[in-house]
Amino acid sequence: MADKKRSSFGSRFGTIAVLAGSAVGLGNIWKFPYMAGENGGAAFILIYLIVSLLIAVPVLLAEYALGRRGQSNIFGAFRNLAPKQKGWHAVGLTGVVTAFLILSFYAVIAGWSLYFLWESVTGSYMGMSAQQIGAKFDTFVEGGWGPAIWALIFLVMTGGVLLLGVNKGIERCSKMMMPMLVVMLVALAVGACFMDGWREGMRFLLRPDWSKVTTSTVIAALGQAFFSLSLGMGAMATYGSYIDKKENLYGVASTVAVADTAVALLAGLAIFPVVFTYGISPTAGPELVFITLPSLFAQMPGGAVVAAVFFLLLFFAAITSAFSMMEVVVAYLSEEFGMSRTKAMWLSLGGLLVLAMLCVASQLPDSVLTIGGKNLLDFLDTFTSNVLLPLSGLSIVIFMAWVLGRKALADELTTGGRYARRLVGPTIFLLRYVVPLMMVVLILNLLGVL
Ligand code: PFF
């Protein structure tokens, strides 16, 4: 099973589109701009860049190397590289479970963006006030059926693309969607330059304010870089197994990281001028994207078109990330249990739908689906980002840096000695010492110990 001939991405551009497609997601569009604005603007951006370069990009390289070396799904990769050490296989399994859990609630939020895309195209909320849109959103979420149907549509679309395969499905779609996403985002950012609130928006996003920078800023930047580059759940490792054996991993990883950061910055350039033009204070989380922005679009001249473009790009960002999460599960089921991709897809889709529906139900008023005082959706979000992702990220790094062996790691990172030979020493040093130390600090902080 494990040595069955695997697909690999067809071209350099295809490889970048698919990998950047996974990285660029909901996290870039609403979370990064807000975090930057709140945490000292350019000061946060600078810290984010340093943390990305020294920590996140080495982990990204380690995940790609794990997948490409192991030539398998995340579980199979550990099994192929450490056949006798069963403990590591469990790390692979944790990755599969994490991907499954994250996708189940990610699909619900992605469903909200599909709903808003639909509502923008039909123009149904144009002219409404912020309160009216807030009430409309609450009724939608608490109504249950709407979110359930949109999450179902989103998951079925994701599954449908996976059914077409790695090249004809994931790669072909990403090659179309990612350039369109960039064009739409650039258009919105350019349009935003002509708005009255542009200066103030830029000041909020870019003015360096070092007084806001504390240890927790660095930790927040690290957590964000991890989530944004899709690290810690085997998505990058699974995709890594499809990277051509001759491809330069350093070139790929740095392009993906630059593209991911550029999209996050562009999202800020597009969003904040709008927010400040209408004199609204920017808020975090779903509210910014699903209440504040729609209510601003509702007042803007030509707002329906801007809104449709914005939610279409949000949908593209979400679905290309969802491909990578579902692929973790589908590749695992099909390769480890010898089932066809079709069967593996239906099985994953069935499971995901059940959990996604539970997430939707947990948001109904008086729902009993709560864990530790949080509704199921919020619980899964916190539990996966604060516990599962950092722990499996740390395990992957320890495996690659300490267990696999320096020679094998260096060989994979340099593509058999072909590229970046001078960078491999510093990379292994970072992976062995700096990254694990920072990850432990991150985990202790997330657990509230530090
Ligand atoms: N990187 C995605 C984002 O920024 O929204 C989220 C994500 C996708 C996380 C895929 C993990 C993953 F495997």
Between 16 and 205, residue with greater pLDDT = 16
**Residue 374, strand partner residues:** 371
Q: Is the pLDDT of residue 182 over 70?
A: yes
pTM here is 0.94
Concatenated DSSP letters of 268-283: HHHHHHHHHHTT----
The pLDDT value given to residue 71 = 97
Give the number of other CB atoms < 10 A from CB of residue 174: 28
Return the beta strands (E) in 53-95 as ranges.
none
Which is the closest atom of ligand 1 to the Cα of 317? Answer: 5
Is the beta carbon of 230 within 6 A of some atom in ligand 1?
Answer: yes
pLDDT, mean over the chain: 93
Greater pLDDT, 176 or 441: 176
104 C-alpha vs ligand 1 centroid, how far in Å? 13
Confidence of residue 5 (pLDDT cuts 50, 70, 90): low
Q: Tell how far the Cα of 265 is from the centroid of ligand 1, in angstroms.
A: 17
Residue 385 CB less than 6 A away from ligand 1: no
With pLDDT > 70 as the criterion, what percentage of the chain qualifies?
A: 98
> Is ligand 1 within 6 A of the CB of residue 233?
yes
Residue nearest to atom 10 of ligand 1 (CA): 230
pLDDT digits (tens, 9 = 90+) for 220-266: 898 899 999 999 989 999 999 999 999 999 999 999 999 999 999 99
Q: Is the CB of 228 under 6 A from ligand 1?
A: yes
For atom 9 of ligand 1, which residue has the closest CA?
230
220 CA distance to ligand 1 centroid (A)? 16
Residues 433-438, mean pLDDT to the nearest whole number = 96
Looking at residue 204, what is its pLDDT? 87
Q: Which atom of ligand 1 is nearest to the CA of 236?
A: 13
Q: Which residue has the tokens 């985002």?
A: 185
Q: 386-415: per-residue pLDDT in tens?
A: 788 889 999 999 999 999 999 999 999 999
* Neighbouring C-alpha atoms within 13 Å toward the C-beta of 367: 21
What pLDDT, in 10s, does the model give residues 166-179?
Answer: 999 999 999 999 99
Q: Is the beta carbon of 324 within 6 A of some atom in ligand 1?
A: yes
Q: Going by CA atoms, what residue is nearest to atom 12 of ligand 1? A: 230
Distance 124 CA to ligand 1 centre (A): 31
Of 137, 150, 161, nearest in space to 320 by CA: 161
Q: Which residues of 250-280 are buried (b: 16+ CB within 10 A; e: fewer)?
A: bebbbbbbebbbebbbbbbbbbbbbbbbbeb
Helix, strand, coil shares of the chain, percent, nearest 5, are 80, 0, 20
Distance CA 17, CA 170 (A): 10
**Low-confidence winner among 71-80, 157-166, 256-265, 435-444 (lowest mean pLDDT):** 435-444
Query: Given this model, what pLDDT does residue 6 score?
Result: 81
Predicted pLDDT of residue 342 = 97
Residue nearest to atom 3 of ligand 1 (CA): 25
Q: Which atom of ligand 1 is nearest to the CA of 389?
A: 11
Quick check: CB of 23 below 6 Å from ligand 1?
yes
Confidence tier at 1 by pLDDT (50, 70, 90): very low
HSE value, Cβ hemisphere, 13 Å, CA-based, for 141: 21
The DSSP call for residue 340 is -
State which ligand 1 atom lies nearest to the alpha carbon of 25. Answer: 5
What distance in angstroms lies between residue 272's CA and the mean position of ligand 1's atoms?
23
Pocket test for ligand 1, best of 32, 228, 314, 330 (most atoms within 8 A of CB): 228
pLDDT band of 2, cuts 50, 70, 90: very low
Structure confidence at residue 4 (pLDDT): 54
- Model confidence over 308-367: pLDDT tens digits? 999 999 999 999 999 999 999 999 999 999 999 999 999 999 999 999 999 999 999 988
Q: Is the CB of 256 under 6 A from ligand 1?
A: no
Cβ of 22 less than 6 Å from ligand 1: yes
What is residue 7's three-state secondary structure?
A: coil
| pLDDT at site 307 | 94
Q: What is the pLDDT of residue 284?
A: 64
Reported as a single tens digit per residue, the pLDDT across 261-306 is: 999 999 999 998 988 888 877 776 677 888 888 988 998 888 999 9
Q: What is the pLDDT of residue 398?
A: 97
**Structure-token pair, residue 291:** 């209440």
Angle (CA) 105 109 114, round 5°: 135
Q: Pick the atom of ligand 1 nearest to 328's CA.
A: 13
Nearest atom in ligand 1 to 318's CA: 5
Q: Is the pLDDT of residue 416 over 60?
A: yes
For a pocket test of ligand 1, which of 18, 19, 100, 230 has the largest count of ligand atoms closer than 8 A to its C-beta?
230
Structure confidence by residue, pLDDT tens digits, 146-165: 999 999 999 999 999 999 99
Tokens of 330: 């589908």
| Interval between CA 289 and ligand 1 midpoint (Å) | 17
Terminal Cα-to-Cα distance of the chain (whole angstroms): 44
